Amino acid sequence: MWHPSEMTTRETVVAYLRAIERNEQEAFLHADAEVVEHPNRLNPAGKRYDRAAIVLAAARGAALMARQSYEVRTMIVEGERAAVQIAWLGELKDGREMRAQLCSVIELRDGKVWRQEQYDCFE
């Protein structure tokens, strides 16, 4: 079982990414969580999500995706903030694959994901 107070920032971020792969990330989100998605190929205008919108977006993604994986390439940790370079692979339910290189800056508060700033580069 996940106990945020017993984990380092690095461990929490990795556990959060693994939870996203299983569509179980809600427990990792702080009550005031926010995700900022910068403009990218799939979302040219970018977007801001509060906690409720994050949960809804995850449900929409789960309806489309057969699976996804996050390979952490590098992570730089400073206190409760981590900058993470990630190779992402997603498989749609129709069998098509999507790939992206991601940079995610994740900030924790009270051991949970409070703010995530996302830079996605889809192939």
Q: Are 30 and 113 in contact (CB under 8 A)?
A: yes
Q: Cα 97 vs. chain centroid, distance in angstroms?
A: 18
Map out the domains of the chain as residue ranges: 4-122
Q: How far is CA 87 from CA 24, 31, 52, in A?
A: 20, 28, 26
Instruction: Say if residue 2's pLDDT is above 60.
Output: no
pLDDT tens, residue by residue, 52-107: 999 999 999 999 999 999 999 999 999 999 999 999 999 999 999 999 999 999 99
CATH topology of domain 4-122: Nuclear Transport Factor 2; Chain: A, (3.10.450)
**Whether pLDDT at 1 is above 60:** no
Predicted confidence at residue 27, as pLDDT, reads 96
Give phi and psi for 20, each to the nearest 5.
-60, -40
pLDDT per position as a tens digit, 107-117: 999 999 999 99
